[in-house]
Amino acid sequence: MPLLTLDGIGVRLGGRQVLSDVTFSLEKGDFTGIIGPNGAGKTTLLRVILGLIEPSGGQVLVDGEPLHRRGLRNKNKSAIGYVPQKLVIDPDMPLRARDVVSLGLDGYRLGFSFPSRQRRELVDEALADVGADGYADARVGELSGGEQQRVLIAHALISRPKLLLLDEPLANLDLRSEQEIVTVLGKLAREHEISVLLSAHDMNPLLSVMDRIVYVANGHAASGPTDEVVTSENLSELYGHHVDVVRVHGRVLVVAGD
């Protein structure tokens, strides 16, 4: 049974049909990219999966159970980890990296929590999983974009989700941080068998780790294994103008042509 299934999802926002008939599914440990131009509806699609937007049609199944049925929310809540788009954390926020990760455990519950040995170990482990243990005690607002991204991934990871959703995690990163984040996410999918579903407008940094592509454009989505989707003919048709798929030093690159 697939971990996540979107079946005929349609979304209307403000009277406008933003997405229609989006169907794809994700297996355990899959690394999937939702690729498409800005404004194509990638964020909307992620928000539907999170239950933040009610679809106008179709259904989302997590582990075979409908996401939006009442009573399942609690279970699904910890099944999905989420890293939102473009978070800017103010440098004056009195939160260390480890505080942000700790909020991933129970930040949605009422009450307050006291430090404990067990909590500290869980936080340290999550930070180590994403290679952020070096700045666990730094103020999160003073970290670089790539470092903050790792901390937020650790925040999402600490509740042991089966599925990790990331909204444009590579936006605004320099090339090196971009590659490091891709490596961390690839490792989580391979070694921890967490399904990774992320949105991106540029597929190039992801081609080495991405198993599947969901391509979103003009309100529709097409999905398939990366090797099948990434051909010159397919991409030219999706983008609406000529695209070359080239191989350099064993790596695949997608380049817009004339």
Partner 1 sequence: MHYLFEPGLFSSGPVRTALLVGAVVAITSGVIGVFTVMRGQSFAGHSLADVATTGGSGAFLIGVNQFWGFLVAGVAAAAVMEAIGVQRRRGRDVATGVVLGAALGAAALFLYLGTLRTATTGASFSVLFGSIFVISPDTVPALVASGVIALLVVAVLARVLLLTSVSPDLARARGVNVRLVGIAYLAALAVSVSLAAVAIGAVLSTALLIGPSATALRITKTPGRAMAVSALAGLVATWLGIVLAYDSYYWPPHGRGWPVSFFVVALVLVGYLLSYVRPRGKRVPRSPHEGVECSPA
Residue with Cβ nearer partner 1 (74 or 118): 74
Minimum CB separation from partner 1 for residue 200, in Å?
17
Given a contact cutoff of 8 angstroms between Cβ atoms, the answer to whether 117 and 77 are in contact is: no
Nearest distance in Å: CB 146, partner 1: 7
CB-wise, 144 or 183, nearer to partner 1? 144
Residue closer to partner 1, measured from CB, 103 or 252: 103
| Residue 163: CB minimum distance to partner 1, A | 12
The torsion of the CA quartet 175, 181, 187, 192, rounded to 10 degrees, works out to -170
Minimum CB separation from partner 1 for residue 226, in Å?
27
Sheet holding 31-35, edge to edge: 80-83, 163-166, 195-200, 31-35, 212-217, 220-225
Interaction site with partner 1 (CB under 8 A) = 50-52, 73-74, 77, 80, 82, 84, 87-89, 92-96, 99-100, 103, 106-113, 134-135, 137-139, 142-148, 155, 172, 174, 177
User: Which residue lies nearer to partner 1 by CB, 86 or 242?
Assistant: 86
